[in-house]
Amino acid sequence: MSSPALRLGPLSVRVRPRHLLASSAVVVTAAAVAVVSLAVGEVPLAPARVLAALTGRGTAAEALVVLELRLPRVLLALAVGAVLGMSGATTQLTAGNALASPDLLGVTAGASAGAVTVIVAADRPGASAPLLALGVVGAAVLGGLVAAALVALLLWWVALDGLQPLLVGVGVSALFSGLVSGLLVSASIDDAARATVWLTGSLNARGAQELAVVAVALPLLVVLWAMSSRLSTFALGADVARALGTSTARTVTTALVISVVAVSLATAVAGPVAFVALVAPHLARTLTASPWPPLGASAAAGALLVTGADLVARTALAPVLLPVGAVTALVGAPFLVWLLVRRRNP
């Protein structure tokens, strides 16, 4: 499909109307869902009042509910979704594999191992004080970064094309998941239940500390996005990418290391929210009719998915708060099936 281009001297930007339209639609929907999420809850507010509170024109009570209680959670959902979506697209592009997701790169399992260790060790007599002082979030960040460092080291050591990075991740992942299942089996049933809630992925009872952690990941996304034109050459295959002047090994290593660090931070705050990193790129690709998963639209789709799922998780069985990870797949999977079976040209 040919598309118009904007040229200004040596600069030219291709204008892809479908891509622009679909991406902005996803961003607008995500923003709308976020506003609805700020409005819905124990104290229902009209969307207009929410916007007033956001711009500082609301009453003190509205400001408390919107800005203090609900906003951190919604921001967290948006940020975690964006990180997972964009990292998913990066992994799928660099691996040239529709099944690839950062979960396969071992950081999710690493963060889980850290968090579960602290949850299980919390009421054991012999637990070491530094471990407990670390807290669940700290331990999850540590576990995720250890796994990320391991993956980065191995990537540098084996240097790679095609599937090697993911196979490396599979090995790291197996190691840490083995640790998690060992801990789960040896734990008391109450600790196992608490660990399971964390392992489902949840945004309940998160606050400023978690927001600060995930804020570190957002600049990483900007770097990834800046690499997107180089990354999209991988959609044509590593050989073509090389022929087009992309230094493939360096690009793959940089992009994957950035992705695993970002995902380990997101996982540390929200737990391993299932399915988002895998499905968001597919949603973005189908909606924008793009031949490869576009990074920006994938981030927006991920943010939409997590925010929407969290809204459902918060309200479906209210006042019981479901963990968001239990809902992402309930919302995302039927959508993916619908995308698969609908007619392309009705």
Partner 1 sequence: MVARAHPAVAAAVLCAALAACAAASLLVGTRDLGAAAVLDVLRGASDDPEAVAVVAGQRLPRTVVGAVAGAALAVGGALAQAHTRNPLADPGLLGVTAGAALGVVGGATWLGLGTAGGAVWTAFAGAAAATTAVGVVAALASSRRDSGPAALVLAGAAVSALLSSVTGVLLLLDLSALDVYRFWTVGSLAGARGGEALAVVWPFVVAGLVLALAQGRALDVLALGDDTARSLGRSLTGTRVTGVVAVVLLVGAAVSCVGSLGFVGLVAPHLVRRASRGDHRSLLPLAALAGAVLVLAADVVGRLVVQPAELPVGVVLGVLGGPAFLVVVARSARRRQRRSRSARASARASARTAPAAR
Distance from C-alpha of 263 to C-alpha of 1, rounded to nearest angstrom: 34
Task: Give yes or no for a cis peptide into 323 (omega within 30° of 0).
Answer: no
171 binds partner 1 (CB under 8 A): yes
Pick the closer one to partner 1 by CB: 205 or 340: 340
Subset of residues 258 to 297 that bind partner 1, contact rule: CB under 8 A: 274-275, 278-279, 282
Nearer to partner 1, 133 or 167 (CB): 167
- Report how far residue 257's alpha carbon sits from residue 111's, in angstroms, rounded to the nearest whole number: 15
Nearer residue to partner 1 within complex by CB, 36 or 330: 330
Number of residues that bind partner 1 (CB under 8 A): 58
Residue 105-144 contact track with partner 1, rule CB under 8 A, x = bound: ----------------------------------------
Using alpha carbons only, what angle is made at residue 215 by residues 210 and 220, rounded to the nearest 5 degrees? 135
The reply on whether position 192 binds partner 1 by CB under 8 A is yes
Q: Which among 11-19, 168-176, 228-236, 253-261 is the span making contact with partner 1, rule CB under 8 A?
A: 168-176
Give dist(CA 260, CA 101) in Å, integer.
10
Query: CA 202, 203, 205, 208 torsion: positive or negative?
Result: positive
Can residue 205 be called a binding residue for partner 1 (CB under 8 A)?
no
Residue (of 208, 202, 203) closest to 68 by Cα position: 208
124-129 long-range contacts (CB < 8 A, ≥24 apart) are none
Residues near partner 1 (CB under 8 A) are 97-100, 104, 154, 157-160, 163-164, 166-168, 170-179, 181-182, 184-185, 189, 192-193, 196-197, 200, 274-275, 278-279, 282, 322-323, 325-330, 332-334, 336-337, 340-344
